[in-house]
Amino acid sequence: MELRGKGALVTGGARRLGRAFVLALAEAGMDVLVHYGHAAREAERTVQEARRYGVRAFALQADLTRAEEIAPLMDRTTELLGTPPRVLVNSAAVFKAGTLRDTTLDNWVEHMRLNLRAPFLLMQAFARALGSQTPGKIVNIADWRALYPGRKYVAYTVSKAGLLTLTLIAARELAPHIQVNALALGAVLPPPGEDEAYLQRLVQHIPARRAARVEEVTDALLFLLRNDYITGETLLVDGGAHLGT
């Protein structure tokens, strides 16, 4: 699909990786909807940065843990663009620790609502908005840990594994005009509150021996969006972490 001139909705697009997705799409000529939860100021800054590429850019707030805020987010996106977005990037997520024994119900529910239910409802809304013929692309941002689970992030891992399964189901159901794929990322940015040293410790034994550069992740996103023959695919962008040490 030619991206230039079409619209994209990126959830959690105000800062960190979401912001990088927004700017990569803007650089590719897409009009961008920067969804944010709390980061209003960062969202506005990202909108201004996106506009430097000569595209239209808008910020929209929604609490994605609230199911009732999701259809209005897609409706407002369509209103602002004047036409439904042709690309949906589900990037907003929560990432909190918890083993099987100590994961609280609140921790579990938050992960399921934000990391799994919100992308599910957004994919439904996106598919409805595009109808049965208009071409579109969905990319769900997941994690290599969804395929190779560890012990420490149970709810997060299960939510992302659900997202990968949903990617497969949606790819079948929304074909042939909508392709649905996922990126399973390894370490890219340290989680909020952690520093580069934390990240370096995390990756010292993986084959790549380093975290991903942000451009390596955005390149993978653009690759999936530009290809019309890949659907139901999970692309691991993890420096070989899944291979073990």
Task: Enumerate binding residues for ligand NAP (CB under 6 A).
Answer: 12, 14-18, 36-39, 63-65, 91-95, 114, 141, 143, 185, 187-189
Which one, 134 or 165, has the nearer CB to ligand NAP? 165
Shortest distance in whole angstroms from residue 4 CB to ligand NAP: 25
Shortest distance in whole angstroms from residue 191 CB to ligand NAP: 6
90, 62 Cβ separation under 8 angstroms: no
Which one, 148 or 177, has the nearer CB to ligand NAP? 148
Residue 43's SS3 state is: helix
Which amino acid, residue 188?
A: V
Which one, 54 or 241, has the nearer CB to ligand NAP? 241
Shortest distance in whole angstroms from residue 174 CB to ligand NAP: 21
Which one, 177 or 235, has the nearer CB to ligand NAP? 235
Shortest distance in whole angstroms from residue 196 CB to ligand NAP: 12
Shortest distance in whole angstroms from residue 13 CB to ligand NAP: 8
The Cα angle at residue 16 between residues 95 and 159, in degrees rounded to 5 = 25
The Cα angle at residue 124 between residues 17 and 140, in degrees rounded to 5 = 25
Which amino acid, residue 15?
A: R
The CA–CA distances, whole Å, from 143 to 14, 166, 193 equal 20, 14, 19
What are the start-end ranges of the E strands in the chain? 7-10, 31-36, 57-61, 87-90, 136-143, 178-185, 234-237
Q: Report which of 214, 184, 197, 187 is spatially closest to residue 15, judged by C-alpha positions.
A: 214
Which amino acid, residue 191?
A: P
Which one, 23 or 185, has the nearer CB to ligand NAP? 185
Q: Helix 40-51 vs helix 16-27: angle between axes, to the nearest 10 degrees?
A: 20
Which one, 14 or 166, has the nearer CB to ligand NAP? 14
Shortest distance in whole angstroms from residue 83 CB to ligand NAP: 24
